[in-house]
Structure 1
């Protein structure tokens, strides 16, 4: 599916040099590529970005690698080699934006750190995606998502003695770091358009995750300010009106009846209006105290009386927030996914049609996710080197 031709993409003509690998940096640069930028992915010899090998695989490319590296060109550079390092420095000198995720000190050792690059390219926007923050005590500890979720407190929200917290199913630190890197780069680019000034920004995944964990940390924040921090909001499993329930066929649905209007609608629907007397706005996020058992029993009995998909369809028609819990295979082919066009296919030269997840900016004509499939290792090395043999482009113009 494609949209009619329209205005140029927002970052058309912008050059991004991507020294990052794995997830946060590549997701950021893929987004910049979807927005129209020319993204040059610099990879190490033979191996490249080792997410190329993360299972599962299509015929020739990892599903993981493909999901964060479309709309990029690949060049292999051995940054320990003097000639290849010169090529990297020339790429940096011509870049509008650089994204890197090296260990602390490595860019300086290679001569591609911000200070070195800015001497030849003062307008560059240079983004370092780090784990815990390079200048912190944990700065040299590898910044894996699970480690960061542990230190940020999100993993330990409901620690109980003798019981380990559940493993997270979403890479929250990786993706919040990726999102803030994208936001930061775009904000810096807008400012550069007005002033001509480049900048350096470090985006620690730790800082990024903590900054969006305001709900999970709300009790701690209240206690830090000298208050009791109790009671807390209860979107964590103790609120019977915001929970997961089994259905008759052994599957599950999510029940999200926080607001009084939605709760009353549900109670009227099941013929239990007495369960919905007037309540305050504060009540919706509590555990509902002595009413919780009655609420839980009514919801559970209703859900267990129906199969999941039948129940979900009934609730959709009634505009009640009870929705199915899908497996990952069900989710990407569900009627709603198809209706939203969230999954589409692109042609890969080696693997044929392969699926990709479409971002919501597509519908506004702001992104084009299928300009280039994910690249083979060094697929564009020769053409990039040939481009570097030509004259450097003029410095960017600005409004100021």
Structure 2
């Protein structure tokens, strides 16, 4: 079993991962590890499998989302509420290098796959729990939904205004922060085990992971925390007129990033407005709101953008060395010149949906991951192969099916 590309020379070749996770953070984490050569056995409920298989939109029959976070894996169906199901899981765990689970704290213990049980079966195991708020702490009992974590981290509050609720974030930052930290932790734990022979118990909280990445948004609060004013605040959230989005004549949008003085000078010269150049501008002004000059700056940028259609404006500014770029829709981004030029989309044959697109692991360009992973597995596609590989005979496997264990 393996991905659609050769994995023999990849950094995690020979690593076996028992993946009990569902939805987003755990599966995206284990897909990245699979891309780097690990063999990932995804354990799913008999029947429907991972509930995210039902997530819209679909290709022909399969979820686009599910395929985007479960490529390159092998599906084993197990009913962990049954004794035989737990026994099979334990047999797999004895052979595994890594276990990943994303249950609420306490659920893994009820299913017999908690760290104490697992480490008793396999003392060198790298055990990774991914949850919303960690295995301990005052919020550990709360479900780890991305929006809740972004709200409590202070990140979602950056768009707060006095007369309206903050916008719902357009990116699942907490989910991907937790997944990324889980990958880093697992890689570090595998290196530690190689040197010491010791396993690890990784408690990866999505909240902790996202909060650790909020160092810029927390600069003001950290300053105030030790008695300072926290002002002026670094302006990368819309307060800087030279770092924002503007509408064009065709009601599309562009992103303006003219933070550095030389870029602002280029823009002012490009629109014949040398009067807007502040020759005394210092590096401290780069992330400021530009004070009493802000209104004039914003008006000049808005007027320039509103005077032309988006693509015409981009062509003109590009020729003049001014970094104004289109705000793409997802469809435009997927089909953009840069995505094609960087080789970030590959197509793979899916057993029921035909040819489907995949977003390429960015480590593939460095030779650390496959460029084209196998399609996500059908529910239980590897159950027979895994059970046989674990030493179960055909009669026992047939009984597991009859008893509803797999």
1:170-212 Cα offsets, whole Å, 9 max, x none, are 0000000000000110111112111211100110000001000
Which residue does 2:402 correspond to in 1? Answer: none
Is 1:123–1:192's contact at 8 Å kept on the other side of the alignment? yes
Give the drift of 1:111.
1.9
Give the drift of 1:159.
2.5
Does 2:136 align with 1:135? yes
Is 1:6–1:365's contact at 8 Å kept on the other side of the alignment? no
Counterparts of 1:185 and 1:6 in 2: how far apart (Å)? 19
Counterparts of 1:369 and 1:338 in 2: how far apart (Å)? 14
TM-score scaled by structure 1? Answer: 0.94
Give the drift of 1:24.
0.2
Does 2:293 align with 1:294? no
Equivalent position SS for 2:256: strand
Structure 2: give runs of 5+ residues left out of the alignment.
393-406
Does 2:125 align with 1:112? no
RMSD value, Cα: 1.6
Deviates more, 1:65-74 or 1:99-108: 99-108
Counterparts of 1:100 and 1:348 in 2: how far apart (Å)? 26
Structure 1: give runs of 5+ residues left out of the alignment.
391-400
TM-score scaled by structure 2? Answer: 0.92
Runs ≥4 in structure 1, deviation > 4 angstroms? 3-7
> 1:232-243 maps to which residues of 2 (within 5 A)?
232-243=233-244
Is 1:158–1:165's contact at 8 Å kept on the other side of the alignment? yes
Is 2:159–2:167's contact at 8 Å kept on the other side of the alignment? no
Give the drift of 1:219.
0.8
Which residue does 2:386 correspond to in 1? Answer: 384
Counterparts of 2:187 and 2:367 in 1: how far apart (Å)? 17
Equivalent position SS for 1:108: helix
Which residue does 2:340 correspond to in 1? Answer: 338
Number of equivalences: 388
Give the drift of 1:6.
9.3
Counterparts of 1:369 and 1:176 in 2: how far apart (Å)? 23
Counterparts of 1:4 and 1:142 in 2: how far apart (Å)? 37
Which residue does 2:267 correspond to in 1? Answer: 266
Counterparts of 1:161 and 1:13 in 2: how far apart (Å)? 55
Counterparts of 1:66 and 1:195 in 2: how far apart (Å)? 37
Is 1:19–1:100's contact at 8 Å kept on the other side of the alignment? yes
Counterparts of 1:275 and 1:7 in 2: how far apart (Å)? 59
Is 1:129–1:181's contact at 8 Å kept on the other side of the alignment? yes
Is 2:246–2:253's contact at 8 Å kept on the other side of the alignment? yes
Does 2:356 align with 1:354? yes
Give the drift of 1:371.
4.0
